[in-house]
Structure 1
Amino acid sequence: MGEIVIRRVKKEDLDKIAEIEVECFPAAEAASKQSIEERIATFPESFLVAEKNREIVGFINGCATNSPVIYDALYHDSSHHIPDGESLAVFGLDVLPEHQRQGIAAKLMNYYIEIARTDCRKRVILTCKDRLVHYYEYFGFVNNGISESTYGGAQWFNMTLTI
């Protein structure tokens, strides 16, 4: 399988991350390359990549906020990042399709949760589609019902992991 290495993002990862985002999300939901670049610049401490054989195969990212739920402006405007916020949001957990079902997403999520603990956050928050609710419950997230988010025109569910 090859060893999976989780590390913080670097500026030079931008092109590969943008490619992975386009492959993993529908066009209406995928973050733009410009948005990803802003995220890397604004909150690199909560932007992790997974490498297999020195190739980026996945990533997880999100900002800190005081909000207990994700709201749409968080995705588009990095100025909503509050470095010492109570919540660590997950904007995306992406793994290339050919590398899925190998535990890479779980490694990324577990590392991300540990960052939230180390940084003394109160919670990790995310939104997901109905088909993924059970996946996040595996990590201890609780389904708080349908989100007000309409990002990408989809229906989302608010999920919270209390730290």
Structure 2
Amino acid sequence: MNQRNIHIPSLGNTNTFTRTLSIDDLKSCVIVESAFTEQERCSEEKFRYRLSSCPDLCLGLFVNNEDESPPTLIGHVIAVRSPYTLVTDGSMSMPENWESLPNDEPVFVNDELIGNHKYGDTIAIHSVAISPDYQGKRVGRALVSAYTQHLKGGSFGASRAVLIAHDYLVNFYESVGFKNQGLSKSNFAGGVWYDMTYEL
């Protein structure tokens, strides 16, 4: 599962690591996602779809607990593959009958690809979430940096990673290597978003 230790100075000597996520992490991902407003959260069913369809693109940040209980997920990056160079509303959706479809069969609705495209060369990031208790401690920066290294170090064959960001997060993503491509056409959750791209 590619577990990699990661030192985050603001957390002191806390033992933290990243690893790819699996369907076993579903409930933990739902808990972390509660950091977002309700309309922006990924649903449990969408997590099930993404963690089943492309778990290698989903990375979790964990802390080891001193009482030897299982590690706690404190942040995650959830993504799918896409043939498009920017995030689309379709890529943020999922096929209605995805469990009965072959994993490599793309689904289109009104000529727009829905969900994951197994052979897309863009990594479309749909969630970068940090548990509220760990926000403001440069944990998000460490996670995003670990994620871009994860993409560069794997055999993904992707050209870029893309995401949409609120205006107040544009500077943050630029500081970790993303480029601002301007206002996004996405109207996800009724918000105003900016397209961000990271060349791999």
Q: TM-score range by the shorter chain?
A: over 0.9
Query: TM-score, normalization: structure 2?
Result: 0.76
Give, as a single letter, the amino acid of the residue that structure 2 aligns with 1:52. Answer: V
Unpaired stretches in structure 1, ≥5 consecutive residues: none
Structure (1 or 2) with the greater helix fraction: 1
The separation in 2 between residues aligned to 1:142 and 1:153, in whole angstroms, is 23
The number of residues matched between the two structures is 162
The separation in 1 between residues aligned to 2:147 and 2:83, in whole angstroms, is 17
Q: Identity percentage over the alignment? A: 22
In the TM superposition, what whole-angstrom CA distance separates every residue of 1:40-98 from its partner, at most 9, and x where no partner exists?
Answer: 00110011111112111111111111101001111111653122321111111101111
Unpaired stretches in structure 2, ≥5 consecutive residues: 1-10, 65-70, 96-106, 108-114
- Give RMSD over aligned pairs: 1.4
The answer for the alignment partner of 1:59 in structure 2 is 76
The answer for the alignment partner of 1:157 in structure 2 is 194
Greater radius of gyration (CA): 2
Q: Which runs of 4+ in 1 moved over 3 A?
A: none
Query: TM-score, normalization: structure 1?
Result: 0.92
Q: Is the Cα contact below 8 Å between 2:162 and 2:198 reproduced in 1?
A: yes
Q: Is the Cα contact below 8 Å between 2:18 and 2:60 reproduced in 1?
A: yes
In the TM superposition, what whole-angstrom CA distance separates every residue of 1:76-134 from its partner, at most 9, and x where no partner exists?
Answer: 11653122321111111101111123332223212221233232311110000000000
User: Please, which of 78, 81, 85 is the counterpart of residue 116 of structure 2?
Assistant: 81
User: Please, which of 13, 17, 40 is the counterpart of residue 29 of structure 2?
Assistant: 17
